A and B are shown apart, each in its own frame.
Chain A
């Protein structure tokens, strides 16, 4: 039978999101999405010993957007930055027991926000140059762009 609605894992993370909030003076900060499109996520990280020591998020968006944000923070926490950088949108969706097909792109921005936060940190410490930051696929919600990717 085709899955109807959200998986148990999505609802569990939506109802009990992990790592909600703000880190004052974070080491890295990433923000992706656009309220016009209905999804906006920000992730704050604290780095210690090249690992994601602490991570917090805030999200405006639908059920899957909130669940994805929560899940990605849980997956990244304690990970070496290089490992956290390898977490993909698909990894997050899989870990949540899948997302409805129409949600795979628009609200699956958690990994993008995490990568943006790590890149932000790497730029700060001079590990990479700002121009070396790879742009994530689509959905940066700039003027004139479609909300769907």
Chain B
């Protein structure tokens, strides 16, 4: 299938070097890292090497601060439930920005049913968290605050250092979901002052089904899965050696490639934004500059996002994403687009482009022309 893939935030191809490296753990070098024989020890060594690479990507102090998981959803659930339940005696208040991923918001909503309080902190029209509102909501009973590093739908990067200073001034705990940001912008958990941080393998061109939760030394959380006690008891279950080894290799490559690749994609991205905004009644969503380098997101008046996605795919073989209600399971428009102040009818017309390795500058006019034709076609059909 050729064509132009512009949905790297939803799935990335696994880097061929990662495939080759990780592939041997499916066969030749298989093993259970908990076993004490030589095959088990070799598997354990591979797992620890992966952990070291992940730790290095985010400048974690010591590898043992990295808990390997089955992905970002498990890591987010572990961070939120694990911290809330561990600290329930101290308070019941949970804070999150309104634009967190559903794998952050849904565990919090579930805790709310069990007696916790949940407060969602607003963001401005560009998606940046309201720091004054955040500070105002923080109190000694706030046991966990969760603010994402960057948002996958609108690309906005949060002022995490400032968030962390505000949260830590009060001696409170900060979780940061860095799923969309890792490998795209530099992350340093020590400099940024992060207590808990979520990562996903596939966003780094690693296999799906692997991720990690960084837990700052001294921070105590409790398990949400119970079993054999793997990963310091915080992620029980036999490790997915293939995926985690691949994650480690992907993290190593991401650390080496990030800066150069980020600049390359940013140049393509900026040109694309310039071209696509030439379309009548088109608007950039998210922040104009404080955004992920590979991320361009738009909305178009009078047309609907799922139709945009289908037309781009069927007519131009270009794969994009949308936050339209009609493409979701719930038929609700994206909570992110509503949180930045879009009306329902505006939120329906969104298109999200996330660039990656296979994209190049030759594609800019092709993509821009396809977007223009798509919008024209759908507007010709629209009564609005």
Interface of A toward B, CB cutoff 8 Å: 6, 11, 14-15, 17, 20, 31, 35-42, 58-63, 65-66, 102-103, 106-107, 147-148
Contacts and interface: CB of A to CB of B under 8 A. Distances in A.
B348 A38 contact: yes
B384 A60 contact: yes
B132 interface: no
A14 B310 contact: yes
Interface of B: 302-304, 306-307, 310-311, 314-315, 324-327, 329, 331, 333, 343-345, 348, 380-384
A14 B311 CA distance: 9
Contacts of A60: 302-304, 381-384
A51 to B, nearest CB: 25
A107 B383 contact: no
Query: What 3 A-B pairs come out closest when comparing CB atoms?
Result: A62-B326, A62-B306, A58-B383
Given A35-B345, A38-B333, A66 B381 contact: yes
Contact of B384 (A40, A66, A148): A40
21 contacts: A14-B314, A17-B381, A20-B380, A31-B383, A35-B345, A38-B325, A38-B344, A38-B345, A40-B383, A58-B381, A58-B382, A59-B382, A60-B303, A60-B304, A60-B381, A62-B327, A63-B326, A65-B326, A102-B329, A103-B326, A107-B326
Given A59-B383, A60-B384, A66-B307, A36 B345 contact: yes
B175 to A, nearest CB: 32
Contact of B310 (A35, A36, A59, A63): A63
Given A35-B344, A58-B381, 5 more contacts: A14-B314, A38-B345, A39-B304, A59-B381, A65-B326
B384 A102 contact: no
B169 to A, nearest CB: 42
A38 B343 CA distance: 11
Contacts of B302: 60
